[in-house]
């Protein structure tokens, strides 16, 4: 039997996010069956100038292996009942052991139902502070694209819905299936859940010195140690000024950025070359295979050899 994904369309639903589960899981048919419902089976007004007709009411939630709740037009800072009685009754239909996924601000629904109490969860970064104030029992992390807490998953917003759906396919059936779905949908096969959201950051004045040239310089030297003092000297700034300016522009420390670039470089080498793992580690600036293994495990959850085997096999079958 295929894994049944039920998508719950609420009044004011955003059509892009509503379509994500059908597009992603539907591409993996016959492994998944996707059905869409509203609370009463009637057409649902979207957040734009059209409505969508659905073929099911909330009773199908009782058949779901995974329930996805897309976001809907709302004003998070306005007083409102996030869990009206019909919606609460619909969520109670979910079977024990079934998964529930929120995309973007649909996390308010899960939190209002108590499903996120004591859990780590995410939502759109622009609403994270209000979300945390409204639901203090939730451990809000607005710096990630999605969070997998077993039977409850939360995605940050819009395209991160694609990421969490691909993640579930990978979790259910492995990377090869998820990568094939990603290729057919022409989307990136992997943006790890810990990747930072694209949070708005201050843009330096045009006349201000930036760290862009130094970042480009560092990218050409990933194979050797690069100290903070070297980076600051190249940018012709003090270490303190460089560190502050770097964080303003990039959103992370120079050390964090260097590690991320080394991980990405190692991934490219593993995917596109036959270099031994020790050599890949050296080329990426990790020094030892053990160090690279630790950093890759933290970033993507798999060791170098498993990562290479997965992506090389995918490339051959593409």
Which residues are marked as active site?
104
Pairing of the two strands 99-103 and 152-155: parallel
132 vs 293: CA distance, rounded Å: 35
Rounded to a whole number of angstroms, the CA Rg of the chain reads 22
* Secondary structure class of 199 (helix, strand, coil): coil
Report residue 208 as tokens. 């201000």
Phi, psi of 179 (to 5 degrees): -65, -40
- The residue among 103, 104, 231 whose CA lies nearest residue 168 is 103
Beta-carbon contacts of 54 under 8 Å, excluding residues fewer than 6 positions away, are 9, 36, 37, 38, 41, 42, 43, 44
Beta-carbon contacts of 159 under 8 Å, excluding residues fewer than 6 positions away, are none
119 vs 140: CA distance, rounded Å: 8
Pairing of the two strands 32-37 and 44-45: unpaired
Q: What share of the chain is helix, strand, coil (3-state, %, to 5)?
A: 45, 15, 40
Please calculate the CA angle 142-144-119 and round it to the nearest 5 degrees. Answer: 65
Instruction: Confirm if 144 and 194 have CB atoms less than 8 A apart.
Output: yes
């Amino acid at each position: 039997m295929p894994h049944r994904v039920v998508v719950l369309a609420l009044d004011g639903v955003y059509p892009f996010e509503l379509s994500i589960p059908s597009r992603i899981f539907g591409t993996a048919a016959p492994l998944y069956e996707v059905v869409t419902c509203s609370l009463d089976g009637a057409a649902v007004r979207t957040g734009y100038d059209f409505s969508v007709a659905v073929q099911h009411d909330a009773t199908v939630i009782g058949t779901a292996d995974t329930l996805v709740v897309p976001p809907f037009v709302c004003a998070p800072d306005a007083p409102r009942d996030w869990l009206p009685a019909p919606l609460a009754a619909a969520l109670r239909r979910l079977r024990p052991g079934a998964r529930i996924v929120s995309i973007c601000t649909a996390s308010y629904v899960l939190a209002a139902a108590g499903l996120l109490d004591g859990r780590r969860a995410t939502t759109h970064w622009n609403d994270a502070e209000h979300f945390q104030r409204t639901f203090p029992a939730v451990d809000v992390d607005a710096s990630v694209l999605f969070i997998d807490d077993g039977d409850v998953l939360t995605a940050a917003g819009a395209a991160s819905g694609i990421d969490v759906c691909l993640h579930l396919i990978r979790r259910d059936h492995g990377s090869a299936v998820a990568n094939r779905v990603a290729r057919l949908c022409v989307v990136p096969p992997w943006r790890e859940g810990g990747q930072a959201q694209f949070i708005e950051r201050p843009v330096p004045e045009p006349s201000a010195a930036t760290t862009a040239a130094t970042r480009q310089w560092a990218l050409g030297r990933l194979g050797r140690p690069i100290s903070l003092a070297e980076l600051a000297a190249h940018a012709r700034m003090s270490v303190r000024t460089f560190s502050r300016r770097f964080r303003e522009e990039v959103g992370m420390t120079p050390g964090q950025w260097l590690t991320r670039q080394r991980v990405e470089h190692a991934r490219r080498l593993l995917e596109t070359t036959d270099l031994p793992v020790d050599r890949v580690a050296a080329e990426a600036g990790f020094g030892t295979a053990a160090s690279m293994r630790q950093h890759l495990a933290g970033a993507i959850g798999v060791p170098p050899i498993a990562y290479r085997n997965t992506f090389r096999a995918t490339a051959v079958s593409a």
